[in-house]
Amino acid sequence: MLRWRAWLSAMLLASFYLLPWLRWDGRQALLFDLSARRFDLFGWTLWPQDVGVLLGLIAVLATALVLLTNLAGRVWCGYGCPQTLWSRLFRWIEQGTTRWLPSPGAARLARHALWALVAGWTGITFVGFFSPMHGLVGNLWPLAWSGGETFWIVFYAAATWGNAGFLREQVCRDLCPYARIHGAFCDSDTPRMQYHARRGEPRGPRVAGLGGIDARGRGLLDPTSASDYAFRAAHEDIAGPMPHFSADRLGDCLDCGACASACPMGLDVRAGPFPDCIGCGACVEACDARLQAWQFPTGLLRYASDNALQQRPRRWLRPRTLAAAGTLLVLLGIGIHHIV
């Protein structure tokens, strides 16, 4: 899963950086040319009087995002959001420079130099969707950009550096409007990161070789006890310390903290659910790796709906799903009728 997620991130970032270089019929394939007041979209040209088509396209994309959220959860946030992609890239650079450069000062200098390089090229690429990319790069040395081009390149470079290098999860928590309203699109059949407390509780370290709950014949806890143990473990300050359990009564959670350490949002999914969780799967990867090392079955953390975790059948015809799908079909129908 980790390799697949890394490849997807690399593919999406490469698409962003390469897209302004694509040509179509002698022009840039995707260009919102503000000076010429025309929008080129792979051979399809929109003029100012076609603003209704552009607004309709935006409405279709927004409705599709609502439907995707209802059916699959926050997969956009975890895998496709620019903030997630660039934060992951900047974090990868940070980890690489720290690993390969023994001196903290040298690692910090290299990190910020690479961050600045990526941020600068990101600013140029973004402006390249609004001003011809070949002209921007051709005027890179000596700098002959217009005042507007210079301002927006510097602005988006600084925004990339600040958001991906320093703010990171704060952008998702405090600045992103989608993060605040996505819960309105979800229901009990919408998947999210879940902790299988009936299998994992009571959690705790133990010596290797004891095996999981199935190998020991302990089985799953009843839902009430599992919820109580999970709550007590996450809120010792108000629930008091957990009672002591013998090793053969422990669940499959090793209480190693790997899931919380891997989470880019700084969350512990075992104490969830959390509205801030972006569903990126980092906690699942970390947990599965530890479980495999102890020869336990994986899946203690999983991306599943409340109904799936409680083994209830999934409902496909739900009010929010029907509303989003119906709106999307209506918008597509209007768009097709307009084009034809």
Short-list 297, 298, 296, 302, CA closest to 206: 296
Tell me, yes or no, whether 207 and 139 share the same domain.
Answer: no
CB count within 10 Å of CB 157 equals: 21
Residues 187, 220: Cα–Cα separation, whole Å: 26
The answer, as to whether pTM is greater than 0.85, is yes
Q: Is the peptide bond before 102 cis (omega within 30 degrees of 0)?
A: no
Residue 336: its pLDDT value, please? 87
pLDDT beneath 70: ranges in the chain: 1-3, 142, 340
Indicate whether 331 belongs to any domain: no
Residue 3: its pLDDT value, please? 67
Which pair of structure tokens corresponds to residue 174?
């405090």
Tell me, yes or no, whether 148 and 9 share the same domain.
Answer: yes
HEC-encoded secondary structure of the chain: CHHHHHHHHHHHHHHHHHHHHCEECCEECEEEECCCCEEEECCEEECHHHHHHHHHHHHHHHHHHHHHHHHHCCHHHHHHCHHHHHHHHHHHHHHHHHHHCCCHHHHHHHHHHHHHHHHHHHHHHHHCCCCCHHHHHHCCCCCCCCHHHHHHHHHHHHHHHHHHHHHCHHHHHHHCHHHHHHHHHCCCCCCEEEECHHHHCCCCCCCCCCCCHHHHCCCCCCHHHHHHHHHHHHCHHHHCCCCCCCHHHCCCCCCCCHHHHHCCCCCCHHHCCCCCCCCCCHHHHHHHHHHHHCCCCCCCEEEECHHHHCCCCCCCCCHHHHHHHHHHHHHHHHHHHHHC
Indicate whether 329 belongs to any domain: no
Tell me, yes or no, whether 34 and 146 share the same domain.
Answer: yes
How many domains does the chain fold into? 2
Residue 207: its pLDDT value, please? 85
Which pair of structure tokens corresponds to residue 237?
């300050």
Tell me, yes or no, whether 23 and 154 share the same domain.
Answer: yes
Indicate whether 66 belongs to any domain: no
The parent domain of residue 127 ranges over: 2-46+81-175
Residue 328: its pLDDT value, please? 96
Q: Is the peptide bond before 177 cis (omega within 30 degrees of 0)?
A: no
Indicate whether 34 belongs to any domain: yes
Residue 102: its pLDDT value, please? 87
C-alpha distances in Å from residue 33, one per residue of 36, 37, 101? 5, 6, 43
Residue 240: its pLDDT value, please? 77
Tell me, yes or no, whether 131 and 231 share the same domain.
Answer: no
Tell me, yes or no, whether 17 and 92 share the same domain.
Answer: yes
Indicate whether 53 belongs to any domain: no
Tell me, yes or no, whether 243 and 140 share the same domain.
Answer: no
Short-list 199, 217, 292, CA closest to 253: 199
Residue 332: CA atoms inside 13 Å, Cβ hemisphere, count?
A: 10
Tell me, yes or no, whether 15 and 140 share the same domain.
Answer: yes
* Rg of the chain (C-alpha set): 25
Tell me, yes or no, whether 151 and 226 share the same domain.
Answer: no
Indicate whether 337 belongs to any domain: no
Strand duo 192-195 + 44-46: pairing? unpaired
Residue 88: its pLDDT value, please? 95
Tell me, yes or no, whether 206 and 89 share the same domain.
Answer: no
Residues 90, 154: Cα–Cα separation, whole Å: 18
Residue 98: its pLDDT value, please? 93
Tell me, yes or no, whether 98 and 27 share the same domain.
Answer: yes
Tell me, yes or no, whether 115 and 240 share the same domain.
Answer: no
Indicate whether 261 belongs to any domain: yes
Which pair of structure tokens corresponds to residue 319?
């009010």
Q: Is the peptide bond before 191 cis (omega within 30 degrees of 0)?
A: no
Indicate whether 336 belongs to any domain: no
Contacts of 137 (CB under 8 A, 6+ apart): 124
